[in-house]
Amino acid sequence: MAVIEVEGLVKRYGALTAVDGLDLSVARGETLALLGPNGAGKTTTVECLEGYRRPDEGRVRVLGLDPIADARELSPRIGLMLQEGGLYPHVRPAEILHTFAAFHDDPEDPDALLTSLGLDDVRDARYRSLSGGQKQRLALALALVGRPEVLFLDEPTAGLDPVARRTTWELLAERTRGGTTILLTTHLLDEAAAVADRVAIIDRGRLRLLGTPAELTAGGDGSVTVRIDPTPDAAMLAARLAAHLGVEVRPEAGDRLRIAALATPTLLTALAGFLTAHGGDLADLRASGRTLEEVYLRLVDDPELQRSTAVVA
């Protein structure tokens, strides 16, 4: 049985249809990332699952329960992290986390959570004096402390520095190994690719694409992209590399060169030969496939694709 089920969800705000017939399901222990442009309907979808908003049409279930009718039974089993922390300015992280822990039968150790989220130094500081990233980490600790079976995370790493972001991903991965199911929204495509088992791209309230990161980024043109440092003149470098390899090489954004060939041992040997002969370091090499960012931008930028029915991997 799916832990999170969304069937034909429609949610309107007056004349605006924010969610327009959405179907999704998330299995136990799975992490699903919801991606989409601002205003796509991600938060509204999550809020319907959290029981904050009543669907106008369709059906949502979490752990087989109705988030509104069964709120009392459901709420101890889910962990929420909202976009704005919304805590009273005078509370202190350790105090509030211990208080939240006391609501649960088998909570995580609040002090260990503070340590793993790097909040030891501010455990007794006032909430209002915390930095944005510290507030964000406290919100995550509050979501995790009750050992929830399901976690709803709205942009969990927005505003976090790269180290804190990675720590967060690791904490979440530990929880999913223990069977926790996660639905998260994010604008960070690297985050979706790194943490999600499946990614759902929604736009104007509809599902546009659904699949594993590998499925969504597969089916590239079989080419290789490289970045060679230094690249004083990408067009010149591309021409020299093309002459050396005997295949077409095109400069792309970010000093990248796209080599129109498969990453065979012969090609890679020739590439190494070029670097030896002409100097330069291989700063990056990517064989075939597309990045999630390329898939996403193509989808949201392409009016033709936008008109077509949802492409579901």
Q: Least distance (Å) from ligand ATP to the CB of residue 33?
A: 13
CA 177 to chain centre: 17
Residues whose CB falls within 8 Å of the CB of residue 270, separated by 6 or more in sequence, listed in order: 244, 245
According to CB under 6 A, which one of 36, 148, 280, 289 is a site residue for ligand ATP? 36
Is residue 156 a contact residue for ligand ATP (CB under 6 A)? no
Q: Least distance (Å) from ligand ATP to the CB of residue 83?
A: 7
Residues whose CB falls within 8 Å of the CB of residue 148, separated by 6 or more in sequence, listed in order: 77, 78, 79, 180
Stretch that binds ligand ATP, among 40-48, 72-80, 86-94, 260-268 (CB under 6 A): 40-48
Nearer to ligand ATP, 40 or 139 (CB): 40
Q: Which pair of tokens denotes residue 257?
A: 């060169």
CA dist., res. 260 & res. 102, Å (int): 60
CA 14 to chain centre: 30
CB-CB contact of 3 with 28 (8 Å): yes
Cα dihedral 211, 213, 216, 218 in deg (nearest 10): -130
According to CB under 6 A, which one of 27, 39, 248, 284 is a site residue for ligand ATP? 39
Nearer to ligand ATP, 208 or 227 (CB): 208
Residues whose CB falls within 8 Å of the CB of residue 223, separated by 6 or more in sequence, listed in order: 258, 259, 260, 261, 262, 288
Nearer to ligand ATP, 21 or 107 (CB): 21
Is residue 42 a contact residue for ligand ATP (CB under 6 A)? yes
Q: Least distance (Å) from ligand ATP to the CB of residue 59?
A: 18
Q: Least distance (Å) from ligand ATP to the CB of residue 178?
A: 28
Ranges within 14-33 binding ligand ATP (CB under 6 A): 16, 18
Residue type, 282: L
According to CB under 6 A, which one of 9, 26, 44, 145 is a site residue for ligand ATP? 44
Q: Give me the 107-146 binding string for ligand ATP, x by CB under 6 A, dash otherwise.
A: ----------------------------------------
Q: Minimal CA–CA distance to 186: which of 173, 199, 177, 204?
A: 199
Q: Least distance (Å) from ligand ATP to the CB of residue 89?
A: 24
Nearer to ligand ATP, 38 or 276 (CB): 38
Is residue 167 a contact residue for ligand ATP (CB under 6 A)? no
DSSP 262-279: ---HHHHHHHHHHHHHH-
Nearer to ligand ATP, 1 or 15 (CB): 15
Q: Minimal CA–CA distance to 49: which of 67, 31, 28, 34?
A: 67
Q: Least distance (Å) from ligand ATP to the CB of residue 18?
A: 3
Q: Which residues bind ligand ATP (CB under 6 A)?
A: 13, 16, 18, 36, 38-44
